[in-house]
Amino acid sequence: MYAHGILLALGSVVGSVIFVNRAQTFCLRKRTAVIIILLLAPIGLLASHLTYSLLEDPSSLLELQGISSLGGILAGLLALALFTFRHPEPRWRWFDAAAYAGLWGALIARLGCFLAHDRIGLPTSSRFSVACFGGSYYDLALFEMVFLVAFLTFLIWLELRHARLVPGVAFSALAVSYGTVRLILGQLSEPPQRYLGLAPEQWGGAILLVVGAFCWFRIKQFVKGESVLTRSS
C-alpha cells in the first residue's frame, strides 16, 4: 500500500461524494448525480490512460500504467456535456458541481503525487525546488496544490459574499485558471515528446482554457439577455 495510490483513490471517492452533495445543493436530482458519477469515472480513467499512452509513452498502452489527468478531465467534460444535452436549463449547475468536486478531488490526488514526487520538473537551484532523485527539481504537483488551495479559498470567499453565484461562473473561471496554470507548468517540465513546441499537458491546458473562455462568453450573453428581458417586462 503506497500513499500515492491511496490518495488517488481517496481523491476520487471524496470528489464523487462532493459532486452528489453539491448537485443536491443546486436542487439537482441525487439519482442523476450518481448515474453521472458511474458513467464519468470509467470514461475519465480510460481516456486518461489512452491519452498518456498515445502522446507520451506508447509502450504503456497494454501495461495499464500511466495516466494523463487532463485527458481524463476533457473526456469527462465532453461526456457530461453530452449527458446534459437534453436538459439545457440546469446544465451549468452540473458543471459547477463538477468544478467543486474536481477541486477537492484534485487537491487530495495531487498530495499523493507530491509525496511520491510523481510530477518532477526541470532541475533548478530555486528556493522552490525539492531535493529528490539525487538533485534539486521543480515539483509541479506542489505548485498545482498551491493553485488549488488558493482557488478553493477564493471560491468559498466568493460564495460567502454572494449567496448564489450565476450558474456556470465557478466552472468557467476554474477552467480558464487551471488551463492557464497547466500551460505555465508545462514550461517547467521535460516531457518525452513535444508537439509544435508544446508538451501534451500544455495542449490539454490550452483546450481547457478555450472551453472555459467560451463558456464564460455564453454565460455572459445569457445573463445580458435575461437582464434585457427583465427591463422590457
* Segment 164-170 mean pLDDT: 86
- Which distant-in-sequence residues (6+ apart) come within 8 Å of 85 by Cβ? none
| pLDDT at 85 exceeding the cut of 90 | no
Q: How many domains does the chain have?
A: 1
d(CA 74, CA 209): 11
> What does the DSSP assignment read for 87-139?
--TTHHHHHHHHHHHHHHHHHHHHHHHHHTT-SEEEE--STTEEEETTEEEEE
pLDDT of residue 69: 87
pLDDT of residue 148: 96
> Which of 15-24, 62-71, 201-210 is predicted with the least confidence, judged by mean pLDDT?
62-71
The whole domain housing 75 covers 3-232
Bridge-based pairing of strands 135-139 and 129-132 is antiparallel
**Which of 173, 146, 180, 145 is closest to 159 using CA atoms?**
173
Query: What CA–CA distances, in Å, run from 207 to 47, 74, 87, 233?
Result: 15, 8, 24, 39
More confident position, 8 or 222: 8
* Segment 73-88 mean pLDDT: 86
Banded pLDDT at 225 (limits 50, 70, 90)? low
pLDDT of residue 135: 86
Note the pLDDT tens digit of each residue in 179-196: 999 999 988 888 878 888
What does pTM read for this prediction? 0.88
| pLDDT at 231 exceeding the cut of 50 | no
